[in-house]
Structure 1
Amino acid sequence: MTEYVIRFLIGGVVVSAFSMLGDVLKPKSFAGLFGAAPSVALATLGIAIYRHGESYAAVQSLSMMAGAVALAVYSVVVCQLLIRARISALLATLLSIVAWLTTAFCL
């Protein structure tokens, strides 16, 4: 139970810090980008290092990086399908899941 409290507190502090950073930067759309993902990742890695050691956290960080690359591929494919192929958003996202899964499992 204390792990969840610690994760909540660390996550809240880091979310606030990244939100303030995003609020200072231009354009304002960066506020959402800096708000959630980095803070959750840092809180998770901090707890992983504390509870399981550095090698376990290293594996988690590599998995996070692979997930970020897969998300970038997914985002590019969705944009290309929406803009160039002019298909519906639902169909574009469903088709792009294949690209995301392929990238994630290959990495």
Structure 2
Amino acid sequence: MKSLFEICLKAVIGGLFVVCFALVAEAVQPKRLAGIFAAAPSVALGSLIVTVAFKGHHDAALAARAMGIGAVAFTAYCLVSVPALGRLGALRGSATALVAWIAVATAIALIVVP
């Protein structure tokens, strides 16, 4: 069970990283690349830092691996959702993309996780 201190610390560090990444995004040219510095990477880094501090490198490595799997699966979701929404409509297209996300995430997890 996570302690209240750990949860608050993750929120504060994640918020600080969001602010720092937002500042970097403002400085990046062209602005099309600013999305690379969106909130997700900054919150992930903050979470990993707190995980290392409270639980050690092993748990942080597991969390980082899961984040990588999720990122690849989300990419598959995005690639499937664009054509699926156009062809199948909002509900069925979103459901199709979600199935693709689950399938990719499960397949990679079965291959990567021992």
Q: Assess same fold via TM > 0.5.
A: yes
Aligned counterpart, 1:97: 98
Q: Deviations over 1:31-78 (max 9, x none)?
A: 4x5231011111111111111111111111001000000000010001
Give me the whole-angstrom Cα distance separating, in 1, the residues matched to 2:69 and 2:43: 16
Equivalenced residue count is: 104
Please list, as runs of the form range in 1=range in 2, the aligned pairs for 1:1-107 lying within 5 A after superposition: 1-25=4-28, 26-27=30-31, 30-31=34-35, 33-83=36-86, 86-107=87-108
Work out whether residues 73 and 103 of structure 1, in 8 Å CA contact, stay in contact via their aligned partners in 2.
Answer: yes
| Identity level (%) | 32
The alignment's TM-score, normalised by the length of structure 2, stands at 0.80
Work out whether residues 22 and 28 of structure 1, in 8 Å CA contact, stay in contact via their aligned partners in 2.
Answer: no
2:31 maps to a residue whose letter is P
Offset at 1:94? 1.0
Offset at 1:87? 2.8
1:92 maps to a residue whose letter is G
Question: Any stretches of 5+ residues in structure 1 without a counterpart?
Answer: none
Give me the whole-angstrom Cα distance separating, in 1, the residues matched to 2:92 and 2:39: 27
Cα 1:55–1:7 shift into 2, 3 Å: same
